[in-house]
Structure 1
Amino acid sequence: MDCWREMEGKRSHDPLFQESWVWVPGPIIVGAGPSGLAAAACLKEKGVPSLLLERSHCIASLWQLKTYDRLRLHLPKQFCQLPLMPFPEDFPMYPDKRQFVSYLEDYAQRFKIRPVFNAAVESAEYDGVAGAWRVRTERGNYVSRWLVVASGENAEAVVPEIEGVGEFKGGVIHTSSYKSGEVFQGKKVLVVGCGNSGMEVCLDLCNHNAKPSIVVRDTVHVLPREMLGRSTFGLSMWLLKWLPVKVVDSLLLLVARLALGDTAQLGLERPELGPLELKSLTGKTPVLDVGTLSKIRDGEIKVCPGIDRLTDEGALFADGSTENFDLVILATGYKSNVPSWLKERDMFSEKDGLPRRPFPNGWKGEHGLYAVGFTKRGLLGASIDARRIADDVEKLWNELIAITSSPLTTL
C-alpha cells in the first residue's frame, strides 16, 4: 500500500504522467523525405509497421518546397532509386524535380506509407526505465522501442554571417527560396557558393538574361557530368572495382582536363586531393558541369574571390575590388538539425548533427536508435542504410512476436 501511495505521489508531480502518450508498436521514423520513405518501405516488406512523423504538410518537403525549378538529379536514375521500386522505364537518365517528386508520391502510395504531417518533433529522449523512446511533437506524443532519425543532412539552410549585410540595399536570399531566374532578368546577381547548386543557379540566371557573378572562395573539383559515353559517377564506381582510389582520381582528372580544359585559368583552382578521395574524407562533392563552365569561359558568368563585406550597393572582395549588385543569392548549403531535438550525444555529433562514426558504420546506435540518410552518399547511401535498419529491426521484432505468442506468456 505504501509503495502504491508513493507511485501515486510521483504521478501527481512527474510531467510524463500528466501527458498523453501513444504507444507505437514499430519504429518511429522522423522525416518523410526519401530516406524516411525508404526506411518505412523496407520495414513494411519485413512485416514491421512504422510511424512517420513529418514537420511539413507533404512528403519530400525539401524537394517540393525548397528547390529551384530547373533542378534535376545529378546522378543517373539507377543510382537514385529507392529500395524495392525502380524508376519508370520512360523516365530520362536524369529525372527532373517534377518527375522525382511524382516517383516519391507513387512510392508512398505503393507501400501505403501515410505520414503524420505538420508534426515537427520538439524532443526525442530515451527513457531507460521504460526501455523506450519518448517523442514529443506539435501533434502529440509517442513512445516506441525504436527511433529512426531520417531528418537528413539538409534539414536547415546554412546562412553565413556576412559583414555589412544590414547595409546592403538589395535583397539577400538563400537558394531554398530561389525558384527561377525569370524574375531577375537584367539584374546583376552575386551568387555565394560554388557547389552544384551555386553553379546551376548561375546557369539558370544566364538563361534568363540576368548578369550573374559567382564567389569562389575555396578550391573546387569540376568534372563533366559524363565521360567516355558514360555518367562520371557510374564510370567511377566501375573503375573502383578494379583500381585504387588515387588511380581512379588521376584518370578522372585527365579526362576532365581534356574535356573542360584547365579550370584554374577560369578562377576554379582544384584541391590537392582527387575528387573521390576528397569526397570520401570530407564529404565534399565535386561539381558535375551541365553547361556553367562554358558560360564562365565566354564571360557571361564572372568568377569573384571571397567576400570581405557587403556594402550598401554591392560587395567588397578579398582582393580589394568592389562591384555593385542588385541581389545576393546564398548557395551555402544545408545542415542537420538533429542536435536541436534529439536528446542523445553518443551517436550524433553536437557540432554538425551527423553520426560520429563514418559510413558504413553510422546507421546504428544504442537502445534502438538508428540513422538513415546521413552517409554523405546521397540516395544510394540512404537506401543502403534503410535495408540495414529493416534487417536489424526485423530480428528484434520477430523475437518479440515469439515471446508474446509463447504458451508461457499467455498463461
Structure 2
Amino acid sequence: MTRSTDVVVIGGGQAGLAAGYHLRRLGIEHVILDAQAAPGGAWQHTWDSLRLFSPAACSSLPGRLMPIQPGETYPDARHVVEYLADYEERYELPVQRGVWVDGVHRDGTHLRVESDAGDWRARAVVSATGTWTRPFIPAVPGRREFAGRQLHTVQYKSPAEFAGQRVVVVGGGNSGAQIAADLAHAGIDLTWVTQRPPRYLADDIDGRALFDHATARRRALHAGRTDTGGVASLGDIVAVPPVRAARDAGLLTAKPMFSRLTSVGVQWADGTVTEVDAVIWCTGFRPALAPFAALRLRGSRGHITTVGTRAADEPRLHLLGYGDWTGPASATLIGVGRPARDAAREISALLGP
C-alpha cells in the first residue's frame, strides 16, 4: 500500500521533532517515520553517566523549555528522553515508530519513501536520521589482530563492565574525555590516547556559549566578513564537571596515539607494547544517509551538498541536524530549532498555496 502526504520526515529524534513542530505550525501535512521503538532518539542509547553540556533552560527545542532536573545543573540522558517524549505528546506530532526507511526515490513530481511498513509519496522529505547509527572506527594497523574487546562509544554503558581490566580510550573529543573521566573516577586502569594534546574549552564555556559562537559565525559569513572558525576553533572538549574534576585531579593525562594494535595490546611509536584488555573507540560518527543512495547526491566527503538545509541538487529534500553543514550547531538541542524553522518555511514555499 502506498500512502500520500505533503512531507515525510525520516527520524524521530530531536531534529525530526523540531521539524515536525514547525511543519505543524505552518499547517503542513506530514508524517514522522522513526526506526526506534520508543521516543528519545539516540539519547536512549547513551552511557549511564552522560550529561548535557548546558543547563536545561539552554537545551530546549522550539516552543517548550526543558524543565530543570532536580539536583542537576546539567541534565542526564534520561531527563532528555523524558523531555523529548513529553514534547512529542504535547504537540501531537505524527510519529510512526518501528518504521525502517529503506530508500528514497524520485517519482515524477514526488519523492517515494520506501519502508518496511509500506511506501509514502511525498512532495518533500526531511532527512533527520542523525549519525548515531554510523559509528566510525579508523583503520588502525593490527585492529583485526587484537584478541581483546573493542567497542565504540555507542556500546559503552558504565565502568562496571571493565572492573579489574586495563582499558585504552581513543579520542580527544567530548565523548573520549567523558568516558575516560568516567573510567578514571571508578579506578579503572586507564590509558587515554589522542591524536593531539587535549584542547579544553575555558571552564565557564558550555553549550549555550558554543551555540552563540556558531550563530555569530553564521552572521559574519552572511555579511561577508572573515571566517574566524567554527566551534572547533575554541577547543575540542567542554569541561563538564566530571571531566574537570578528573583533569584537575591528574587522572586525565593523554598519551599520543599508538602506532598499531597487537594481539595483546597497543604498540607505541618506540616499539614498546602495553598489554590491555579492551579498547574503546571514541572516534566519532558519519551521517546516516544510506536511504538516499538512489538519488546520487553524495559528494566525495560523504556529505550531500546543501544550500542551508536544502539539498543543492534535489530541492524537495532537506537535511537537518547533522552538523554545521546543515545549520550552525544543528546537531544540538538548542541549535536545531532555527534550521528546522528555515526548512519548514522553504518547504511551505515549495508546496505553494
* TM-score bin (small chain): 0.7 to 0.9
Whether 2:289 is the aligned partner of 1:338: answer yes
Q: Any residues of structure 2 matched to 1:302-341 within 5 Å, and which? A: 302-339=253-290, 341=292
**Aligned residue for 2:149?**
171
Whether 2:43 is the aligned partner of 1:68: answer no
Q: For residues 27 and 326 of structure 1, what CA distance do their matches in structure 2 show?
A: 48
Alignment check: 8 A CA contact 2:68 2:75 kept? no
Q: Tell me, what secondary structure is at the counterpart of 1:368?
A: strand
Which among 32, 43, 58 is matched to residue 23 of structure 2?
43
Q: CA deviation at 1:191?
A: 0.4
Q: CA deviation at 1:52?
A: 1.0
Which among 267, 289, 309 is matched to residue 362 of structure 1?
309
TM-score (norm: length of structure 2)? 0.85
Whether 2:303 is the aligned partner of 1:379: answer no
**Aligned residue for 1:81?**
60
Q: CA deviation at 1:164?
A: 2.0
Task: Give the letter aligned to residue 3 of structure 2.
Answer: V
TM-score (norm: length of structure 1)? 0.74
Which among 347, 352, 361 is matched to residue 302 of structure 2?
352
Q: For residues 288 and 177 of structure 1, what CA distance do their matches in structure 2 show?
A: 22
Alignment check: 8 A CA contact 1:189 1:328 kept? yes
Cα distance per residue 1:164-183 (max 9 Å; x no partner)? 23332221111101110122
Q: 1:238 to 1:165 in 2, by over 3 A?
A: closer
Task: Give the letter aligned to residue 41 of structure 1.
Answer: Y
RMSD (CA atoms): 3.0
Q: Tell me, what secondary structure is at the counterpart of 1:98?
A: helix
Q: Any residues of structure 2 matched to 1:77-156 within 5 Å, and which? A: 77-89=56-68, 92-127=72-107, 130-156=108-134
More divergent stretch after superposition (214-223 vs 174-183): 214-223
Q: 1:235 to 1:69 in 2, by over 3 A?
A: closer
Whether 2:254 is the aligned partner of 1:279: answer no
Task: Give the letter aligned to residue 384 of structure 1.
Answer: R
Q: Tell me, what secondary structure is at the counterpart of 1:289?
A: coil
Which of structures 1 and 2 has the bigger CA Rg?
A: 1
Whether 2:4 is the aligned partner of 1:23: answer yes
Q: For residues 276 and 262 of structure 2, what CA distance do their matches in structure 1 show?
A: 10
Alignment check: 8 A CA contact 1:48 1:397 kept? no
Q: 1:175 to 1:112 in 2, by over 3 A?
A: same
Cα distance per residue 1:273-300 (max 9 Å; x no partner)? x9x725378xx96201234365456553
Q: 1:221 to 1:303 in 2, by over 3 A?
A: closer
Task: Give the letter aligned to residue 318 of structure 2.
Answer: Y
Which among 24, 32, 36 is matched to residue 56 of structure 1?
36
Q: 1:133 to 1:331 in 2, by over 3 A?
A: same
Q: 1:42 to 1:336 in 2, by over 3 A?
A: same
Q: Tell me, what secondary structure is at the counterpart of 2:50?
A: coil
Q: Tell me, what secondary structure is at the counterpart of 2:229?
A: helix
Cα distance per residue 1:11-35 (max 9 Å; x no partner)? xxxxxxxxx32112x2000111100
Structure 1 unmatched runs, 5+: 1-19, 246-273, 400-411
Q: CA deviation at 1:335?
A: 1.0
Task: Give the letter aligned to residue 314 of structure 1.
Answer: G
Task: Give the letter aligned to residue 55 of structure 1.
Answer: A
Whether 2:128 is the aligned partner of 1:180: answer no
Q: 1:386 to 1:98 in 2, by over 3 A?
A: same
Structure 2 unmatched runs, 5+: 221-226
Q: CA deviation at 1:338?
A: 0.8
